[in-house]
Amino acid sequence: MKTYTITESKAQLSALVQQVLETGEAVVIGKHGQPMVKLMPYQAETAPKKRLGAFMGQVSISENFDAWSDEEARALGIVD
C-alpha cells in the first residue's frame, strides 16, 4: 500500500482515484509521516435480508394475552 502526502494527493487526486479503481489496492494519505486516511474502492453496504417466518413454531401467544387482570383494570380505572 503506497502512502502519499496531502500535498501530493491534492495534485494527483484524479490519478490516485483511477489507480485505486484499476488495481483495487488502497492508497494511504498522511501528514508528517502519520497515516490519516485511506482511499479505497467503494463497496455498497448491504443490509441483512429479513426472513419472513424466521421464528415460526418458536413463538406462541396465549388466547387472552390482551385481557386485563382485575388488579390491572382497577389500577387503570377501567373497573371499579
**Could you state, in order of their start, the residue ranges of all structural domains in the chain?**
3-39
- Beta-carbon neighbour count of residue 9 at 10 Å? 20
Mean pLDDT of 50-60: 86
Mean pLDDT of 33-60: 89
Q: Are 3 and 28 in contact (CB under 8 A)?
A: yes
Mean pLDDT of 43-71: 86
Confidence category of residue 54, pLDDT binned at 50, 70, 90:
confident
Taking all residues of the chain, what is their mean pLDDT, rounded to a whole number? 90
pTM of the model: 0.54
Q: Measure the CA–CA gap between 6 and 34, rounded to whole angstroms.
A: 11
What is the pLDDT, as a whole number, of residue 49?
81
Q: Is the pLDDT of residue 80 over 80?
A: no
